[in-house]
Structure 1
Amino acid sequence: MTISSFNGYHSVMSLRIHNMRAQFTDLQRQLGTGQKAETFGGLGVQAGLDVALRQQLADVNAWQSTTEHTGLRLELLNQTFEQISAIATDAAEGTDPNAFDLLSDGQTAGQNIAMTSLAELFGLMNTDIGGRYLMSGKAVNTKPVEALGVVLNGDGTRAGFLQVRDERLEADLGPAVAAGNLGRIDVSSVGTTVTFAEDGVHPFGFKVTGVNSGLSNATVTGPAGSPATTDVTFTGDPVTGEVIRVYLDLPDGTTTDIALTVGGSGEPGTFAIGNTPADTAANFEAALADALAAEAATTLRSASGMAAADDFFGTTGGGEPQRVDGPPFDTATAMVSDSATTVVWYRGDNTAEDPRLGATARIDDSVTISYGLRANEEALVNIVKGLAVYGTETFTANDETDRARYSELADRSWYELAEQSGSNSLRALVSEFGTISYSVGTAEQRHVAAAGTLIEAVEGIESSNLEEVATKLLQLETLLEANYTTMSKLAEMSLTNYI
């Protein structure tokens, strides 16, 4: 009976030592790894919380990675915007309407700068990061814009901007008459009535929008009808110094007017009183034709170049380059789009969808940003147009008509290049992307803070307190030694010792 009791005690002691040895081994592992357990199951009741915290941390890390990559792209875009803004500003400063000082190539120094700036702008539009183009919308693997030489000069099969511009100019100037090209206005007279009328319903040339007559003994009818027709009938002699003014719309959306003053002997902008009303009408007809020809050679020609740039470069929202439906071009009545025969300068994604949707990123649990960009957005196209129109025209020195044409061209180009404040301006685009960048930066700061908190919480559950582990190891080592000593002494005892 006594021996049986001893054997039972020995078994209990052995089990106790075995458990302490297992605990000792686990504490040694914790001291070496710093972790409380090798599996989630070893964390006990905190295992579920630990799994949930780790999932949150994984989500935050994923968002943080997204914000880092997105932030890098946005930073590069913002730097590109700064360079584009500098290009436009410098080029605008060079568009002095009074600086008609031509170099040997028939251009001013400002025009040469414009061409260099246009090449630089095209290079910036083709910016990529890691093979991902930033201004192609969804087509991130497609270079956004065609080579500048092809865009301007074509490629032998497709017409470039210069050809499209020249065709548009022919259409806007119209057929030549004795006085010159009258901008698609027909001028004629019968007896005492002078008639000037648009030569058809089409988008080309001058459009007569009104007449303000201060002439005595003259009746003005119109403009009326489609195409617009205006009659001026002389019933007697007007008074010297009186003025009649004709208001005209231009192809690029701007306006101009022609003023004819009674009197003079053939000076531009005047017409003489004749011996009869019919003679006065004939003089007025000739003066009007000369004035239209002069305005066509300067103002209309410059406006035509800008309209051609609108036709060719204005492809925002799914559009295609437009060109005059001809030949013949001087009597054309419509525009046509044909990408097989006309260079498409922008090659990226180009649908009616909001360009920002071309690139999206989820930067938080409930925050998704859109930061797509297309090179053919209006804010950027305006700069392209200003540089292309201004930088490709040539002039003849000591030619007063060319001097006037240059002045008109410089004014129009300056307007496209100068910093505007509208919703489609570069300033608005920069502001929009600045707001997007701020959102990404703020999200990144939140993720850094959240990740730190979550890491601390996970470590609090999973990590061991090494000081406590070391203390427990020492205590357990002492207990083990004591138990081993006891077991050793018990093992040496015999029945004789017991009796």
Structure 2
Amino acid sequence: MQVSTLSQSLALRQSINDMRAQFDDLQRQLSTGLKTDSYAKLGTDRNSVLSLTHQLGQISAYTNTISKTQMRIEVMSTTLTRVNDIVSETKTSLATSGFELVNGTQTSAQVQAAMTFDEMVNLLNLQVEDRYLFGGKDTQTRPVALPDEILNGSGNKAGLKQFIDERAQADLGADGRGRLTLGSAGTTVTLAEDADPSVFGFKIAAVQSTLSNANVTGPAGSPQGADVDFTGLPAAGETISFELNLPDGTATTVTLKATTNNPAEAGEFTIGGDATATSANFQAALDTAIQREANVTLRAASAVEAADNFFDYAAGGLPQRVDGPPFGTATGLRDATADDTVIWYSGDLGPNAGKDFVAQIDESRQLAYGARADQASIRDTLKMSALLAAAEYSDADDLEQRDSYRALTSRAGQVLNFKGVQSVESIVTNLGLAASTLSHTQDRHDATMASANEILGDIQNADAYEVGVKLTTLQTQLQASFQVTSLLSQLSLVNYIR
């Protein structure tokens, strides 16, 4: 029998060591699920693994951005859906409610507007993850002032109600004639504006007349005026109309009809015995009609314009206040300051309202999204709710107050139609489209990640069944090798010399 040589013994030990190392590696594969413990051992596959791992890291960052963006857009969309509901509710209440003062100073539509105004301010001041959503890029500043501050001011700072009061004084004038003067010389009656230039009160746009025996000139001059010179007696039923422009960009018409009735009814003047008496009757009737129109349409238009002065300003601009006191004779506006006026909006005033935030959702794709409290339709909704909440009346039986209320609510309803500006509903739709884009992009990322992970798994992951079989086989081999080694270690030359 051949005696084992030293080299054979050493070779056997090396074989056992190799099998033990292989056994340890298989155990590691079984516990970690990975074929190797370093990229270097992957051979030519290591470049693929590094590339795919980098790609998965980038996609993970994009999906994290998408998740946060989806949450913000969902909150914005839900909020503005409620604002859009408020638009519909306000328009319905204005169209259906009458002039009954339910609390002594306001109608039911106004009381509802006050509640929705408060709700809107709270909605526009919502925070998500310590970020204000409706202030544009300025996410750390509360974008909208508190409801009471906006309406009533704060300390020495004027609020909307003070703006309305000051503007009404400036538009109606000290005598309540809408900053128009009315005078006569002989048989000529003159209606003129009280100052030029001036942004307040009625502006005489045109005069239309069918009066016979009356010469009408103007409007012309500075300040602009119109003359009506009676050279004789007009015929009953003939009319004269003064078209007057209002501060909010609308217009109204004061029409007087000649009549033989004495006294004349509203909107008429009595034909006198001669031109002098007729001109006097005409002047008195025109004076009454102008004062009534001032208390009705001018007062409503003035309140709307005051709300515009308070709410509407762009980047670099400021609210506009009547340059007074005195307010009844003021002719222009001045910039408000943060020291004397409540600034209702404190967010970003940049040019990209609605696209203030940019999310990187893919390697070469960014999504611009957002909505700001100062966007035209959102601001107009807030503004009309505040205006209705600020206006007050004293007598439900006063026909001028009733008609002025109707003129105000009619204007509010027209503003809420959002002609010429993007509606709240359209803003919600755009947010929905952004959400859809995010969803589709996330689906694509999910598919890419699934494919990449599958490829990585084929390269890196160990087959537990295969590893188990190899471990069992190797364990048997090791046991046999150990037994052989044990037997060889017990052999001696003496055993063979007998």
> What TM-score, normalized to structure 1?
0.91
Take 2:482 and 2:469, find their aligned partners in 1: how far apart are those partners? 20
* Length, aligned pairs only: 491
Partner of 1:257: 253
The letter of the residue matching 2:311 is F
1:210 pairs with 2:206 = yes
Take 1:286 and 1:183, find their aligned partners in 2: how far apart are those partners? 16
Give runs of aligned pairs for residues 138-153 of structure 1, distance below 5 A. 138-153=137-152
Partner of 1:413: 412
Instruction: Say which SS state the counterpart of residue 283 (structure 2) adopts.
Output: helix
Take 2:255 and 2:14, find their aligned partners in 1: how far apart are those partners? 117
Instruction: Say which SS state the counterpart of residue 259 (structure 1) adopts.
Output: strand
Cα deviations across residues 92-136 of structure 1 (Å, max 9, x unaligned)? 222247611122422222211111111111111111123211112
Partner of 1:267: 265
Take 1:278 and 1:446, find their aligned partners in 2: how far apart are those partners? 88
Take 1:446 and 1:317, find their aligned partners in 2: how far apart are those partners? 39
Cα deviations across residues 313-347 of structure 1 (Å, max 9, x unaligned)? 11344432211010111111111122211111112
Contact 1:215 1:244 in 2 (8 A): yes
Take 2:10 and 2:103, find their aligned partners in 1: how far apart are those partners? 112
Q: Quote the offset at 1:452 in angstroms.
A: 2.1
Closer/same/farther in 2, CA of residues 297 and 195 from structure 1, 3 Å limit: same
1:378 pairs with 2:380 = no
Give runs of aligned pairs for residues 57-456 of structure 1, distance below 5 A. 57-96=56-95, 99-176=98-175, 181-199=176-194, 200-225=196-221, 227-263=223-259, 264-265=261-262, 266-337=264-335, 338-351=337-350, 353-395=351-393, 396-417=395-416, 419-420=417-418, 422-456=420-454
408-417 or 360-369: which moved more? 408-417
Q: Quote the offset at 1:203 in angstroms.
A: 1.8
Q: Quote the offset at 1:427 in angstroms.
A: 1.8
For structure 1, the residue ranges without an aligned partner over 5 or more in a row are none
Take 2:321 and 2:18, find their aligned partners in 1: how far apart are those partners? 91
Partner of 2:23: 24
Q: Quote the offset at 1:292 in angstroms.
A: 1.3
Closer/same/farther in 2, CA of residues 97 and 188 from structure 1, 3 Å limit: farther
Contact 1:321 1:339 in 2 (8 A): no
Instruction: Say which SS state the counterpart of residue 95 (structure 1) adopts.
Output: helix
Take 1:98 and 1:278, find their aligned partners in 2: how far apart are those partners? 47
Closer/same/farther in 2, CA of residues 489 and 225 from structure 1, 3 Å limit: farther
Contact 2:76 2:371 in 1 (8 A): no
Q: Quote the offset at 1:12 in angstroms.
A: 3.2
Contact 2:233 2:275 in 1 (8 A): yes
215-224 or 181-190: which moved more? 215-224
Contact 1:111 1:391 in 2 (8 A): yes
Take 2:347 and 2:464, find their aligned partners in 1: how far apart are those partners? 59
300-309 or 107-116: which moved more? 107-116
359-368 or 211-220: which moved more? 211-220
For structure 2, the residue ranges without an aligned partner over 5 or more in a row are none
> What TM-score, normalized to structure 2?
0.92
Take 2:425 and 2:317, find their aligned partners in 1: how far apart are those partners? 24
Contact 2:193 2:203 in 1 (8 A): yes
The letter of the residue matching 1:205 is G
Take 2:185 and 2:419, find their aligned partners in 1: how far apart are those partners? 51
Which of residues 468, 477, 485 is equivalent to 2:475?
477
Instruction: Say which SS state the counterpart of residue 355 (structure 1) adopts.
Output: coil
Alignment RMSD: 2.4
Q: Quote the offset at 1:429 in angstroms.
A: 1.7
Take 2:433 and 2:118, find their aligned partners in 1: how far apart are those partners? 29
140-149 or 259-268: which moved more? 259-268
Take 1:78 and 1:355, find their aligned partners in 2: how far apart are those partners? 15
